[in-house]
Amino acid sequence: MKKLLLIIGIMTATNLFSKTPTFESDVFETSMGKLTITFIGHGSLMFEVNQTVIHVDPVSQFGNYSLLPQADLILITHDHYDHLDPAAIKKIAKSDTKIIIPSVCKKAVLEGFVMQNGASTTFNNISIEAVPAYNIKHKNDKGEFFHPKGMGNGYVLTFGNFKVYVAGDTENIPEMKSLKNIDVAFLPMNLPFTMTPEMVADAARSFKPKILYPYHYGNTDPNQLVKLLKNEPNIEVRIRKLR
């Protein structure tokens, strides 16, 4: 098992001197250098490695993006309002920022680079794979899946010898079972849109990430997941403030 170095920073809501908002962050050692993962809120995350800043699903409701580091890369999972926020993108995008989107987001993000399920690319020596994200059980009042197959992306990011899986809005779909050597996974857990704790536990057991962060968990108690996976010694569940 790869040795992981964790530095947990739990800080106050605002640095009074810099006016820069601060959030919980975990830091991991990778062969590319230290990877800092910052938990903005809900499905919004920020990764930093080797002076490369990556924002995932930036949404103004969960962070003041005018005060956060500007992005070299932005990843958007799908077009729902709590994941796609053009105003937040505008605040952190530079002239050379690459924005990766599924095709369903193209009308809202004209400058976006479209990646469909199964596509892969690299950015600053970081490998990026777009993987499926969809519902297999939960539907809206019209009988339609909240997240139809083929519309949204999850992303697997490879930082040298270290893999991070950001699932997007999905359920415990069969494609998860093909994932290999995931060091850190973010799996969504809120009804009726994504997974129950039991579904997240099933997904985790299928590909066995070393560290599992429930995210996008709304009013669901994430400690339920801790209990469900207590007999899985090789999966560490970490709860961070993402409401």
What's the whole-number mean pLDDT along residues 84-100?
98
Is residue 87 scored above 90 in pLDDT? yes
Say if residue 6's pLDDT is above 50: no
Beta-bridge partner residues of 56: 45, 75
What pLDDT digit, counting tens, does each position of 101-119 carry?
999 999 999 999 999 999 9
Amino acid identity, residue 148? Answer: P
Q: Which has the closest alpha carbon to 217: 41, 91, 47? A: 41
Inform me whether the pLDDT recorded for 12 exceeds 60: no
pLDDT tens for each residue of 132-150 = 999 998 888 888 888 899 9
> Is 136 in contact with 7 (CB distance < 8 Å)?
no
Q: Over the range 76-104, which residues count as b (16 or more CB within 10 Å of their CB) and which as e?
A: bbbbbebbbbeebbebbbeeebbbbbbeb
Query: Looking at the domain assignment, is residue 76 inside a domain?
Result: yes
Domain carrying residue 94: 7-232
Give how many domains the chain has, as a whole number: 1
pLDDT score recorded for residue 22? 80
In a domain, 45, yes or no: yes
Cα 208 from Cα 236, distance rounded (Å):
10
C-alpha to C-alpha distance for 216 and 193, rounded to whole angstroms: 10
Contact present, 213 and 221 (Cβ < 8 Å): no
Count of all residues that appear for the chain in the document: 243
- Residue 2, pLDDT > 50, answer no
**Is residue 165 included in any domain, yes or no?**
yes
Q: What is the CATH number of the domain that holds 18?
A: 3.60.15.10
Q: Is 241 within the bounds of a domain? A: no
* Residue 21's pLDDT band (cuts 50, 70, 90): low
Looking at residue 7, what is its pLDDT?
Answer: 39
Check pLDDT > 50 for residue 17.
no
Is residue 185, in this structure, part of any structural domain at all? yes
> Once rounded to an integer, what is the mean pLDDT over residues 70-99?
97
Q: Is 1 a member of any domain?
A: no
Cα separation, 136 vs 63, in Å, equals 31
Q: What pLDDT score does 192 carry? A: 87
User: What per-residue confidence (pLDDT) applies to 62?
Assistant: 95
Decide if pLDDT at 59 tops 70: yes
Mode of pairing for the β-strands spanning 184-188 and 211-215 = parallel
Nearest one of 116, 184, 192 to 147, comparing CA atoms: 192
pLDDT, one tens digit per residue, over 193-227 is 999 999 999 999 999 999 999 999 989 999 999 99
Average pLDDT in the chain: 91
pLDDT at residue 140, rounded to an integer: 83
Q: Which residues contact residue 119 at a Cβ distance below 8 angstroms, ignoring those fewer than 6 apart? A: 129, 130
Mean pLDDT of 234-242: 96
**pTM for the whole structure:** 0.90
Per-residue model confidence (pLDDT) at position 198: 97
In a domain, 242, yes or no: no
Helices (H), 64-192: 86-92
d(CA 195, CA 188): 6
240, part of any domain: no
